[in-house]
Amino acid sequence: RKKLVQVKNLTKTFTLGKGLSLTAADNVSFDIYEGETFGLVGESGCGKSTTGRTIIGLYQPTTGEVIFDGQNVHQASSAVRSKLTRQMQMIFQDPYASLNPRMNIAEIISEGLYLNGLYKGKERMNRVIELLEMVGLQREHANRFPHEFSGGQRQRIGIARALAVNPPFIIADEPISALDVSVQAQVVNLMKKLQQEQKLTYLFIAHDLAMVKHISDRIGVMYLGNMVELSASEILYESPKHPYTQALLSAIPVPDPDLEKSRERTIIEGDVPSPINPPSGCVFRTRCSVAKAVCAEKKPIWQEVDINHFVACHLYQ
Residues at the contact surface with ligand SF4, assessed by CB under 6 A: 242-243, 282, 284-285, 288, 290-292, 295, 300, 313-315
Of 24 and 291, CB closest to Mg ion: 24
Q: Report the nearest approach of ligand SF4 to the CB of residue 282 (Å).
A: 3
Work out what residue 284 binds among Mg ion, ligand SF4, none; the CB cut-off runs from 5 to 8 Å by kind: ligand SF4
Shortest approach of ligand SF4 to residue 284 CB, angstroms? 4
Using the minimum distance from each CB to ligand SF4, give the nearer residue, 4 or 28: 28
Cβ contact 157:109 at 8 Å: yes
Residues 152-157: contacts with CB under 8 Å, at least 24 apart: 152/95, 152/179, 152/180, 152/183, 152/186, 152/187, 154/95, 154/96, 154/99, 155/91, 155/95, 155/179, 155/183, 155/187, 156/187, 156/190, 157/95, 157/99, 157/105, 157/108, 157/109
Per CB under 5 A, residues contacting Mg ion are 49
233 makes contact, choosing from Mg ion, ligand SF4, none, with CB < 5 to 8 Å by partner type, with none
Rg (CA), the chain: 21
Binding site partner of 314, from Mg ion, ligand SF4, none, Cβ cut-off 5-8 A by kind: ligand SF4
Dihedral, 114, 116, 117, 118 alpha carbons, nearest 10? -90
49 binds, among Mg ion, ligand SF4, none (CB under 5 to 8 A by kind): Mg ion
Q: Which does 290 bind (CB under 5 to 8 A by kind): ligand SF4, Mg ion, none?
A: ligand SF4
Q: Among residues 224, 87, 213, which one has the least CA distance to residue 162?
A: 87
Strand partners of residue 90: 171
> 50 is in the binding site of which of Mg ion, ligand SF4, none (Cβ under 5 to 8 A by kind)?
none
Write the secondary structure of 41-66 as one string of H (helix), E (strand) and C (coil). Answer: ECCCCCCHHHHHHHHCCCCCCCEEEE
Q: How far is the CB of 300 from ligand SF4 (least distance, A)?
A: 4
Shortest Å, Cβ 231 to Mg ion: 22
Smallest separation, CB 309 to Mg ion (Å):
26
Q: What share of the chain is helix, strand, coil (3-state, %, to 5)?
A: 35, 25, 40
Smallest separation, CB 174 to ligand SF4 (Å): 25
- State which residue, 158 or 300, has the beta carbon closest to ligand SF4: 300
Which lies closer to ligand SF4 via its Cβ, residue 194 or residue 268?
A: 268
